[in-house]
């Protein structure tokens, strides 16, 4: 039996499952046909309508409860995110970047794509604030204001190698745009679940106890084997330090404190977004490694006047 495009209905003795891609929406009260009709006839997208009516269910993560304490969710989310990030930390690009034989274009390309990714906050953080709940708005607005000029930090590091026009008019890789675009989509759908995904990216920048630790070792080795890249590494370090000074490692925790309780639908959407953002982050790194390794010039632009740095 079908319900709109790509949705199947699975009828059981005492409940109905709506199967939508990887998601399973369970309706326990099968006698409430009016509620099901509201979903079918909603002007909203099917996915949003199902969330609004509380049909989303993922028993593997949060059991049969209808809600979850937001601080409990924060702990589960962080544990889940860190486990997923293990594959990111094992990515081949890190060894390639610090190698004595690393391509100059790879290091410059990595910095350029990081610049484009940071600049992408002007899109997704603006969407998140515009579509925010009243509870999330103060947190998102504050964070957006603080992130607004962070792209300039990377631009300053890149200015040792390219002109301002070359940097701002350069074209990001499609895989970089993909990472920005999915954050845009998350931001327009649910501001809390958007930031659950964004928190994964914050975790890759944040360090504990005012000590860079392994991140510092990575930076030091990169400079040791590529002294010319010191201006770039200074910009990387400056951004990490600024995020720490602004307390961004606590941003999602503060949001969870404000929310207090999350519906099961919201919790599971946040977990889904978290998994997807790690997949896109991996593809982001794949794109940099595949394109810039051995490339003649790392600068990508549609303007022939400023190309060929």
Numbers of helices and strands, H then E, in the chain: 16, 5
**pLDDT, averaged across the chain:** 78
Q: Which two tokens stand for residue 209?
A: 């106890």
Q: Name residues whose C-beta falls within 8 Å of residue 271's C-beta, 6 or more positions apart in sequence.
A: 58, 61, 77, 80, 196
Q: At residue 2, does pLDDT exceed 80?
A: no
Question: What pLDDT was estimated at residue 10?
Answer: 66
Helices 251-259 and 191-203 sit at what angle, rounded to 10 degrees?
Answer: 150
Looking at per-residue pLDDT, the higher value among 1 and 288 belongs to 288
Question: What pLDDT was estimated at residue 140?
Answer: 85
Tell me the pTM.
Answer: 0.72
Looking at per-residue pLDDT, the higher value among 236 and 94 belongs to 94
Distance CA 213, CA 222 (A): 14
For every residue of 160-177, DSSP letters joined together read TTS-HHHHHT----HHHH
Question: What pLDDT was estimated at residue 302?
Answer: 61
Cβ atoms of residues 59 and 34 within 8 Å:
no
Question: What pLDDT was estimated at residue 210?
Answer: 46
Give me the residue label for tokens 């941003």: 251
Strand pairing partners for 69? 261
Q: How many residues are given for the chain?
A: 309
Looking at per-residue pLDDT, the higher value among 3 and 40 belongs to 40
Query: Which segments of 120-250 does DSSP mark as H helices, in order?
Result: 121-130, 137-147, 151-158, 164-168, 174-189, 191-203, 214-225, 230-245
pLDDT tens per residue, range 98-120: 888 888 999 999 999 999 999 99
Question: What pLDDT was estimated at residue 174?
Answer: 94
Cβ atoms of residues 197 and 269 within 8 Å:
no
| Domain parsing of the chain, residue ranges | 7-57, 67-292
CATH for 67-292, options being 3.40.50.300, 3.30.930.10, 1.20.910.10, 2.102.10.10: 1.20.910.10
pLDDT tens per residue, range 116-169: 999 998 899 889 888 888 888 888 887 777 776 677 888 888 989 999 889 989
Identify which of 17-26, 218-227, 232-241, 276-285 has the greatest average pLDDT.
276-285
Q: At residue 53, does pLDDT exceed 80?
A: no
Question: What pLDDT was estimated at residue 223?
Answer: 87
Distance CA 8, CA 6 (A): 7
Question: What pLDDT was estimated at residue 262?
Answer: 92
Looking at per-residue pLDDT, the higher value among 110 and 250 belongs to 110
Using CA atoms of 170, 176, 179, 182 in order, give the dihedral in degrees to the nearest 10.
60
Q: Which two tokens stand for residue 249?
A: 């490692």
- C-alpha distances in angstroms, 309 versus 154, 164, 177, 299? 17, 12, 22, 7
Q: Which two tokens stand for residue 100?
A: 């004595």
- C-alpha distances in angstroms, 139 versus 43, 103, 117, 204, 300? 30, 40, 21, 20, 35
Question: Average of pLDDT values for 279-297?
Answer: 87
pLDDT tens per residue, range 25-44: 666 655 555 666 666 566 55
**Above pLDDT 70, what percent of the chain?**
68
pLDDT tens per residue, range 79-95: 999 988 988 988 999 99
First to last CA, the chain: 58
∠ CA 145-146-149, nearest 5°, is 90
Looking at per-residue pLDDT, the higher value among 259 and 14 belongs to 259
Question: What pLDDT was estimated at residue 185?
Answer: 95
């Amino acid at each position: 039996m079908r319900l709109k495009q790509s949705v199947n209905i699975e009828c059981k003795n005492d409940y109905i499952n709506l199967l939508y891609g990887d998601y399973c929406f369970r309706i326990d009260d099968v006698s409430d046909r009016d509620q099901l009709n509201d979903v079918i006839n909603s002007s909203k997208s099917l996915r949003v309508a199902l969330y609004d009516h509380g049909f989303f269910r993922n028993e593997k993560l949060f059991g049969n409860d209808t809600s979850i304490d937001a601080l409990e969710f924060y702990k589960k989310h962080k544990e889940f995110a860190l486990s997923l990030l293990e594959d990111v930390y094992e990515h081949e690009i890190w060894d390639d970047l610090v190698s004595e034989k690393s391509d100059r274009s790879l290091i410059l390309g990595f910095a350029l794509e990081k610049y484009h990714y940071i600049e992408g906050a002007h899109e997704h953080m603006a969407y998140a604030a515009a579509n925010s709940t009243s509870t999330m708005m103060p947190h998102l607005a504050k964070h957006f204001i603080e992130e607004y000029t962070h792209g300039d930090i990377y631009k300053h590091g890149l200015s040792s190698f390219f002109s301002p026009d070359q940097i701002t008019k350069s074209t990001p890789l499609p895989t970089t745009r993909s990472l920005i675009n999915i954050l845009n989509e998350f931001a327009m759908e649910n501001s809390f679940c958007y930031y659950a995904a964004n928190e994964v990216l914050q975790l890759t920048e944040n360090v504990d106890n005012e000590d860079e630790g392994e991140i510092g070792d990575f930076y030091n080795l990169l400079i040791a084997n590529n002294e010319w890249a010191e201006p770039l590494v200074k910009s990387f370090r400056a951004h990490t330090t600024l995020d720490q000074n602004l307390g961004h490692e606590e941003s999602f925790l503060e949001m969870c404190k404000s929310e207090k309780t999350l519906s099961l639908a919201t919790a599971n959407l946040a977990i889904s977004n978290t998994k997807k953002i790690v997949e896109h982050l991996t593809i982001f790194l794949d794109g940099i490694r595949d394109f810039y390794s051995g490339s003649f010039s790392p600068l990508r632009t549609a303007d022939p006047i400023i190309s060929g740095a």
